[in-house]
Chain A
Amino acid sequence: MENLPLFFILSSIVKIVIIVHLLLIGVMLMIWAERRVSGWMQDRLGPNRVGPQGLLQPIADGLKFMFKEDIIPDHVDKPLYVLAPAMLLVPALITAAVVPFGSSIELFGETINLQIADINIGILYILAITSLGVYGVVLGAWASNNKYSLLGGLRSSAQMISYELTLGLGIIGILMLTSSLSLRTIATEQGAYPWQWNFLIHFPAFLAFTTAMFAETNRLPFDLAEAEQELVAGYHTEYSSMKFAMFFMAEYMNMIVGSAVTVTLFLGGWHFFGLENVGGPVWSGLISFAIFFVKTAIFLFGFIWVRWTLPRFRYDQLMNFGWKFLLPIALTSIVVTGTLWIMTGSRLVVGIGNAVSAFIVVSIVAGMLVMTTPKPAIQESDSRFSPTALDAVE
């Protein structure tokens, strides 16, 4: 530890600075994108006044947040109230440390990996840090001393713990095939072509992982922690100005990092039809970074898309979904992957087996749910909407 090469330290610092800034910029872009895309989907304009296409709107918002009065309500638990946003933001930021944003570039005769740190327990690191995100929510909720906040916090903690399981289990299939926890290795192992990427081999796991990722980031349809209609914004009801902004940023940052991780794990990282190898040692690195960036962006678009496509879950539905669908799928995927990999050693077989088995599992679970769920006696109500229809609207 004492004799680290100076170059390594320097390059690391540079990488950290760049990535942090990229993330922050990404957050701003994401906020803008979200609003614009939302507008587009809802057939309206969205922000379009500040700057070209409203591009500067996030900056204006940021300034507004910064200069707003920082209100700390009397009834809150002050230390924790202040701590909570930071506890949410910091994990989101440091997760990015192990994500490989591209292959590598050669500068000054040294090879620099486009990744802050390639540690051998990369995935575990991500899981570990992600699991801390929940503290921000929970503490913020509790410190607010507000029952809606508290409810949001409780929901959120239960939800996050539940889905973290799927998150972890979803990765195991990949680990079995790559026998490494390092994200860079996982990314490199996936070939240049989409059919070599993990999402095809581990399709059920991919779905489970992605869904769990949505839940972990508290995005719709899993945003029960802050469901405006029920909880008046949930855990951050009592927050305003910069602290609120931090919650906000953290959420987007989580989305970005989550997408990046998903891309790395399942979508072939920076690979794209060999394009990443075009050009010299410098250019290929930059191209790979660009590919990665685009993939992440597409994935992020998915987040927004889903938001306006799916209705929010009811709480019990959320839990049922997590435990009765995702978890079995993830578990089956592990079993099937392991078995078929040992027996055949062929990724193709594993992929087919996974898909088939997932289909079977889903059918069985769905069948059992239908069979066992007692039919609620529908009460004749005065409303012209039937209760079931109301559920669907919500």
Chain B
Amino acid sequence: MNAEQILFILFGAVSLIGAVSVISFRHPIYSALSLVVTFFAQAGLFILLGAHFVAAVQVIVYAGAIMVLFLFVIMLLNLGTLSAKGAIGPKVKGFAVILGILLAIEGIYIALNSANDTTVAAAESATGTTTTYDIGKLLFSEYLLPFEVTSLILLAALIGVIVLVKRESQEEN
């Protein structure tokens, strides 16, 4: 067992535990924090996969921005006491869990069976890291269009959020 495997198991386990915690903690704040843990572990996995840039962005965007936003809203709405109410019945829960387990088994099955696949079996030939430089270059040449579209998406989000939460001047008066 080499270092990479150890680290994979470590990060993988952490991310799984985090993920399970997300859905099992009662309190949204704890869920959110568990999600942060998962994201961190995933950033670790990305580094293992040689995707340093993605790992950094993962932390900056997910942990640094998205989850803070979540925390912010949870705190703003002070959801602590409210969330306990109206939990769903055990039947639905059981169903969901069974469904989930089935999905998971299927996923594992698919993943294991894909080993025969030539594209997948090409495995481990490629290692090494992708530099930010490479990604930057790709973004502005091959992936120019998606990049521009992403900017539009952000514009849409910007406009949308302003529409949804900005206090109107009439209301103030």
Contact = CB atoms under 8 A, between A and B. Distances in A.
A121 B3 contact: no
Q: Which of B57, B63, B68 has the most CB of A within 10 A?
A: B68
A80 B31 CA distance: 12
Given A119-B52, A121-B52, A124-B57, A134 B64 contact: yes
Nearest to B76: A154
Q: Which of B65, B69, B78 has the most CB of A within 10 A?
A: B65
A77 B71 CA distance: 15
B64 A121 contact: no
B10 interface: no
Nearest to A143: B29
A127 B60 contact: yes
A124 B75 CA distance: 28
- Chain B at the A interface: SS class: helix
Interface in A283-335: none
Contacts of A121: 52-53, 56, 132
Interface in A124-157: 124-125, 127-132, 134-135, 138-139, 141-142, 150, 153-154, 157
Q: Which of B36, B56, B69 has the most CB of A within 10 A?
A: B56
A60 interface: no
- Chain A at the B interface: SS class: helix
Contacts of A160: 68
A140 to B, nearest CB: 12
A42 B4 CA distance: 57
A312 to B, nearest CB: 22
Interface in B1-54: 2-4, 29, 33, 36, 52-53
Given A124-B132, A142-B29, A161-B65, A131 B60 contact: yes
Q: How large is the interface on B (under 10, 10 to 19, 20 to 34, 35 or more residues)?
A: 20 to 34
B109 interface: no
A157 B68 contact: yes
Contacts of A2: 2-3
Given A132-B59, A138-B75, 13 more contacts: A2-B2, A119-B52, A121-B132, A128-B56, A131-B68, A134-B64, A138-B68, A138-B71, A142-B29, A157-B68, A160-B68, A164-B64, A181-B132
7 contacts: A121-B52, A128-B63, A131-B65, A132-B63, A141-B75, A157-B72, A157-B75
Interface of A: 1-2, 77, 80, 119-121, 124-125, 127-132, 134-135, 138-139, 141-142, 150, 153-154, 157-158, 160-161, 164, 168, 179, 181
Top 8 A-B residue pairs of the complex, sorted by shortest distance between their CB atoms = A131-B64, A124-B56, A128-B59, A1-B3, A128-B60, A157-B72, A121-B56, A121-B52
